[in-house]
Amino acid sequence: MRVAIGIEYAGNAFQGWQTQSHGRTVQDVVERALTQIAQEPVKLICAGRTDTGVHATMQVAHFDTDARRPLEAWVRGVNSHLPTSVAVLWAVAVDDEFHARFSAEARRYRYVLLNRRIRPGLLNGRVGWTHGPLDEEAMAAAAGCLVGKHDFTSFRAAECQAKSPVRVMHSVVVRRQGDIVLFDFHANAFLHHMIRNLVGSLVFIGKGRRPVEWMGELLAERNRTLAAPTFSPDGLYLCGVDYPPRWSLPDGGRIIAAPQLLLP
């Protein structure tokens, strides 16, 4: 049978999602826990690989198994074998046509940025941080040009392996809640470091170091060296994946399940 699972994790406890020889990745620990319940090797396929330090309130993955277990065993049973920084939230039986990556219609990310004079203590590793005032209205205006189908070469990591730099950005929302500035991105897919590079350039604009029009110019130039440096991974969260309703995933895979303290 094929099972889809929703997973949340604190990315600063792991060295990324994708399995590594040292075994200290999210994929490694979840596969080991699944293997304990299935009593056979289990291989996970996820919707989107996250880098070291990047968190997830809703990562979606699937696996195939010959083991017959109640769905609750793939949740509470698996969680009993996981470290406290990662948890399976739900499990759903799906047909063989479901693929966590290729069936996904879009992904949602949120960047949580603390904007105050003093660095974070309680939220260290869970939020980005910049001191000095930010103009969220200027950043929101600059983000508007990102919506639509564009070549995002200027915001693509040099080691990105995607065949094409073209992505469709459905929406970008920038808003402030007290000392927290939230950046919400919704697109069909993202390039390696794309969001962190976008946030870095938006912060330049928010600080008045560049005009609002600069964002559109960067898109047109298609030159990574012209954009701002890559921003910290600390505040980046994968917040869900959009799937067609035929597979009946909880909220279509889009739940934002993290505490409101971090994601107001």
DSSP state of 39: T
Q: What is the DSSP string of 231-246?
A: PPSTTEEEEEEE--GG
Q: Where are the alpha helices (DSSP H) in the chain?
A: 26-38, 76-79, 136-143, 194-206, 214-221
Q: Rounded to whole angstroms, how far apart are CA atoms 186 and 226?
A: 24
Q: Please, what is the Cα angle at 43 between 41 and 47, to 5 degrees?
A: 160
CA neighbours within 13 Å on the CB side: how many for 97? 4
51 is annotated as an active-site residue = yes
User: In this structure, are residues 6 and 25 in contact, taking their beta carbons and an 8 Å threshold?
Assistant: no
Catalytic residue among 28, 51, 66, 95: 51
Q: Rounded to whole angstroms, how far apart are CA atoms 4 and 62?
A: 4
Helix (H) or strand (E) holding 64: strand 55-64
Task: Please identify every residue annotated as catalytic.
Answer: 51
